[in-house]
Structure 1
């Protein structure tokens, strides 16, 4: 068997993250993807003809852009020789695109692959599967793709009628995590993200987006989701989403991740090919792992995935300088930390915020996190980083990265 080649990622970039129905809502996921792909070519000077393929991650697609990676590449000016496809591993989609690209490069199938993640949750489709069979009694039922995806992700045998929020509340009961701890983590996340914004820490990874409007285009160049004005009192005043059915419910819009819009992309190649193309590697892939668990406990799946990725690298959690654990829910983060025996205020954990503050544009999140940690490691004089996220339906991904 041919020895696997080393893999590096170069120039991870992302658009700002928009709020649901916010500044980026007029822009489709495809347009966001095109924007970040064009910026990637411009900033790296990479000849698009050198790119073998674009792997596009998206959780809420439509047939406006089938085989998302291919369509986005063609629209962004890549040649017809650049292949592309689409994948969906829910919250892990962006990171999975990077890992699929890495496997192609490691095995020699490809030399240069662009991993792309994009989501416009503001424009997630409303759809029907009944229209082709005639009009049923009572008319056509339109499903909201966002809500439907959360309810069906566990399949027939693991239904989740209360969606991911119900699974988060299950962890609250199991781990005995109080509302106050969840709100405190949420506040800390916002404060870290706002501090990073104000210091310019995100500037290197951001790609401005031009948004059309009736009075002419505007430019969005700043994450819209972090809130500098939030307080513990404001968070405590929010009503739990399942409060009507559970008097002890604690999960609110304030201590859960947002529904967001963004795109992100990164070049995946070998160190040797990067040098030939004049690319500066940001990170080297050390190891990765995927794990599955009970869909109702998907929030703690990062624990086995991360433990396996670290073990494969011969490392322990104490060896890692930055821990990027996506904040799907504050309670879910706290449950993972409890299993690892880590403190919620560990300075290595999401030092510039995460899903609660920056946002969680499903298909883009994994590459957004990669772009952030690629800049965090040198800023904090670190060497190793762990990137991990839970995935609705009972999965998780984890990857160990080394500063290049």
Structure 2
């Protein structure tokens, strides 16, 4: 490993930051991959990190935006709280509370099964840190698994939760993605360099698409972005083995699944953001890691990573197992 790190050092340049909210990790990958394809460099690391526990989740609320935003309806719609966009999708497209809770319970069940089988072990790097207990004692801990997975989550249990965003709503803390901290990174390079360094090649980046959708129903983004990415790849829905579809909310994930007619067994086979969490900057890179390791484990070929994006966007990318 030291030899590889020393060799990689010769390729290192400077860092570049960007932000595209929920797709930041995937956008980072697309930026690095496209620059490599253009010949700007041979090796890059696409990474994303988010500490949502330290973030003011109301930072884009209408009362803190410019006056000009309030005066423009299209711009004002970009400030609709994410939970309300979920309610809008559920109401507009008839996604019921029971459907959402069933989807959420399945996410936890799949993620728990994956943890029990050790399927995440190849993609998770343990993190050792120090925490202070309630008694004021510093304690060293090592985090080896995502902490949001709740074994035994049931539809009946989720049904007892109150709506989070409006009294008559169907979106709850239980059928929404979790507020999480996390980081993920993908090492991207030309095949020539990978072979030179004798590194295992997990897969190839095939295509990428970002689309715009009405911001007040931003959750429908993947239903538009996925067909766009597939068209660029010359593939159809039926040819994709696994869809890592970010579960910002069960309502929007269900809408996208139903609209694209994706079989349930192809959607997030090891759980999604409802169980694993959705650290915004991290998610896209995490999905890529989960997808490619999963394709190798199951000996499948094609996969898609996709997510909705606040302010009215959707992103999707197609990958092929090597």
Question: What TM-score do you get using the length of structure 2 for normalisation?
Answer: 0.91
Q: How many angstroms apart in 2 are the aligned matches of 1:221 and 1:394?
A: 34
In structure 2, the CA distance between the partners of 1:240 and 1:44, relative to structure 1 (3 Å rule), is: farther
**Pairing partner for 1:251 from 171, 174, 181:** 171
Structure with more helix by fraction: 2
Task: Work out the CA distance in 2 between the residues paired with 1:43 and 1:349.
Answer: 39
Deviations 1:85-129 (A, max 9, x none): 2110000000000000001100000110111111111122xxxxx
Residue 17 of structure 2 corresponds to 86
Mapped partners of 1:265, 1:273: distance in 2 = 18
Contact 1:150 1:392 in 2 (8 A): no
Residue 109 of structure 2 corresponds to which residue in structure 1? 191
Query: Is the counterpart of residue 50 in structure 1 residue 10 in structure 2?
Result: yes
Whether 1:225 and 2:148 are equivalent positions in the alignment is yes
Q: By how many angstroms is 1:51 displaced?
A: 3.6
Distance in 1 of aligned mates of 2:254 and 2:103: 8
- Cα 1:298–1:150 shift into 2, 3 Å: farther
Partner of residue 55, structure 1: none
Q: What residue in structure 2 maps to residue 290 of structure 1?
A: 210
Where does 1:4-403 land on structure 2 (aligned, <5 Å)? 45=5, 47-52=7-12, 82-124=13-55, 144=56, 146-149=57-60, 156=69, 157-159=75-77, 163-213=81-131, 214-244=137-167, 247=168, 249-343=169-263, 346-403=264-321
Structure 2 residue aligned with 1:31: none
Preserved CA contact (<8 Å) 1:298 1:391 = yes
- Note the C-alpha offset of 1:280: 1.3
Give the Cα–Cα distance (whole angstroms) in 2 for the partners of residues 42 and 393 of structure 1: 43
TM superposition shift of 1:211: 1.6
Once structures 1 and 2 are overlaid, which stretch shifts more, 91-100 or 292-301?
Answer: 292-301
Q: Is the 8 A contact 1:153 1:393 kept in 2?
A: no
Q: Which residue of 1 aligns with 2:134?
A: none
- Residues 150 and 160 of structure 1 are in contact (CA less than 8 Å); yes or no, is this contact kept in structure 2? no
Contact 1:322–1:349, Cα closer than 8 Å, also in 2: yes
Q: Which runs of 5+ in 1 are unaligned?
A: 1-40, 53-81, 125-143
Please report the TM-score for the alignment, with normalisation by the length of structure 1. 0.73
What is the SS of the residue equivalent to 1:98?
A: helix
Distance 1:349 1:150 in 2: 32
Runs of 5+ in structure 2 lacking a partner? 70-74, 132-136
| Residues 340-368 of structure 1 deviation map (CA, whole Å, 9 limit, x = unaligned) | 1234xx21110000110111000000011
Contact 1:170 1:296 in 2 (8 A): yes
Q: Is the 8 A contact 2:50 2:281 kept in 1?
A: yes
Q: Is contact 1:91-1:391 (8 Å) kept? A: yes
Partner of 1:138: none
* 1:222 to partner: Cα distance: 1.1
The more displaced of 291-300 and 146-155 is: 146-155
Deviations 1:236-282 (A, max 9, x none): 000001233xx2x1000000001111111111111011111222111
Displacement after TM superposition at 1:234 (Å): 1.2
How many angstroms apart in 2 are the aligned matches of 1:325 and 1:228?
Answer: 21
Q: CA RMSD in A?
A: 2.0
Please tell me whether the aligned partners of residues 263 and 364 of structure 1 are also in contact (alpha carbons under 8 angstroms).
Answer: yes
Structure 1 segments, 4+ long, off by >4 Å, are 41-46, 150-155
Instruction: Work out whether residues 264 and 368 of structure 1, in 8 Å CA contact, stay in contact via their aligned partners in 2.
Output: yes
Residue aligning to 2:72: none
